[in-house]
Amino acid sequence: MSIFEYNGSALVAMVGKNCFAIGSDRRLGVQLQTIATDFQRISKIHDRLFLGLSGLATDAQTLYQKLVFRHKLYQLREERDMKPETFASLVSALLYEKRFGPFFCQPVIAGLGDDDKPFICTMDSIGAKELAKDFVVAGTASESLYGACESMFKENMEPEELFETVSQALLSSVDRDCLSGWGGHVYVVTPTEVKERILKGRMD
Amino acid sequence: MECVFGLVGNGFAIVAADTSAVHSILVHKSNEDKIMVLDSHKLVAASGESGDRVQFTEYIQKNVALYQFRNGIPLTTAAAANFTRGELATALRKNPYFVNILLAGYDKETGPSLYYIDYIATLHKVDKGAFGYGSYFCLSLMDRHYHSGMTVDEAIELVDKCIMEIRSRLVVAPPNFVIKIVDKDGAREYAWRESVKDTAVPAA
């Protein structure tokens, strides 16, 4: 079994009108066994920047701690938050440093730029950035997620409609993947507020 | 195969571990205590490679004590769990410790807690957890009978149910178990569940 499929994960980020949504599943497993159904895969870097880490949970936790450390140092030096594009480059650089002994994670980065323009990107485990204008996906359920997002996505969705789209895409995709699921966690971020919602899906 | 499991109740956390020390087909001893008292209000139930288990848990115990000597106050359970995870994560890509840990503790401010720490340094706070082949029986039993805020008697009843299940359904079932509890009064041994007693060592 692939090391990327050891814990199981599903991540999706989608762009809307001056907003973005980032969603993940909630399962933490060890191969076939489910350990927890409340695992947090998405973390806040700052109010307008969220990071989701799919793949091996231990590396996701280590990588998250390294990135928070780097961002806090940046905040101390620059006296401001990192722009999403800058953060994405930081993640990419950190991952490539371990080119021949990598972190087994696929990050999904979603943030609001300076002019409230939403930014999303994903990268592979060695830092190859993939910028997208509409949606990005990661995790064991990524293939299902690609299909679901491609068919459900529309441009310039308002936050409420964006939440519905991301939720439906996430839930229907993880239902086809045995290693991810047990509910969903969706953050919808607009320039004024962050709405965090827990989804109840098929609990299996 | 080594079985370790634990759960959080009303103002206490309880962990149980089998007590057989096995090498291939030989049982060296059946009263090996695998639950270490980390400090006054913490328990570490460890399973895995025996050398690594003893070495690593003693290392953690001594470092937790050192922190208390240096700083005058004990570590919280969360801090001890994160320290343990950090040590496992640092060693992971050099010379990994093959030790799975359930860290149970009681803090005055936050009450009882249980942390699941995998041998590859996956950390998660849980209400109930288990490692080893026994986990296939214990986890589902606990899913069925566990509820938050259990009394000590209810929890012991559940622990005994799990031990009975392991004894009857696991082909290489360990005969003896030790149960330890941690609550506001500290960490201590609660009971042994023995079905095979070692012969007493004759005096020299």
Q: Kindly state whether A36 is in contact with chain B, defined as any CB-CB distance less than 8 angstroms.
A: yes
Does B124 lie at the interface with A, CB-CB under 8 angstroms?
Answer: yes
Q: What is the 3-state secondary structure (H, E, C) of chain A?
A: CCHHHCCCCEEEEEECCCCEEEEEECCEEECCEEEECCCCCEEEEECCEEEEEEECHHHHHHHHHHHHHHHHHHHHHHCCCCCHHHHHHHHHHHHHHCCCCCCCEEEEEEEECCCCCEEEEEECCCCCEEEECCEEEEECCHHHHHHHHHHHCCCCCCHHHHHHHHHHHHHHHHCCCCCCCCCEEEEEECCCCEEEEEECCCCC
The pLDDT value recorded for residue B195 is: 87
pLDDT in tens, B52-104: 999 999 999 999 999 999 999 999 999 999 999 999 999 999 999 999 999 99
How many angstroms separate the CA of residue A101 from the nearest CA in chain B? 9
- pLDDT value at residue A187: 97
**Contact with chain B for residue A198, Cβ under 8 A:** no
How many domains are there within chain A?
1
**What pLDDT was estimated at residue B196?**
81
- Asked whether residue A60 is assigned to any structural domain, the reply reads yes
Supply the pLDDT for residue B202.
Answer: 78
- What are A72-124's pLDDT values in tens digits? 999 999 999 999 999 999 999 999 999 999 999 999 999 999 899 999 999 99
Would A160 be classed as within a structural domain? yes
- Which residues from chain A sit within 8 angstroms of residue B142, using beta carbons? none
Q: For testing the chain B interface, which of A26, A38, A53, A62 should be mutated: the one with the most B CBs within 10 Å?
A: A62
d(CA A25, CA A5): 14
- State which residues form the domain around A9: 3-199
Could you confirm whether domain B4-194 is CATH 3.60.20.10?
A: yes
* Range A46-55 average pLDDT: 96
- Please give the pLDDT value at position A17: 95
pLDDT in tens, A131-157: 999 999 999 999 999 999 999 999 999
Give the per-residue pLDDT at A1.
81
Stretch B33-55: mean pLDDT, rounded?
95
Dist CA B186 CA B44 (whole Å): 13
| pLDDT (tens digit per residue) in B98-125 | 999 999 999 999 999 999 999 999 999 9
More confident residue, B195 or B153: B153
Q: Given A7, A35, A56, which is nearest B116 (Cβ)?
A: A35
Within a domain: residue A204?
Answer: no
Tell me the C-alpha to C-alpha distance, in Å, between residue B7 and each of A27, B105, B119. Answer: 19, 11, 19
Q: Give the mean pLDDT of A42-56.
A: 96
Contact A58/B93, CB-based, under 8 Å?
A: no
Residue range B191-198: mean pLDDT, rounded: 86
Task: Indicate the pLDDT class of residue A195, thresholds 50, 70 and 90.
Answer: very high
Cα A118 to the chain's mean position, in Å? 14
Counts of helices then strands in chain B (DSSP H, E) = 4, 12
Distance (Å, rounded) from C-alpha B95 to C-alpha B92? 6
Question: Is A181 inside a domain boundary?
Answer: yes
Q: Where does residue A196 rank: exposed (0-12), middle (13-18), buried (19+ CB within 10 A)? A: exposed
What Å distances lie between residue B148 and B8, B17, B81, B190, CA to CA? 8, 22, 22, 20
Which value does ipTM take for this structure? 0.93
Asked whether residue B197 carries a pLDDT value surpassing 80, the answer given is: no
- Is A31 at the interface with chain B, CB within 8 A? no
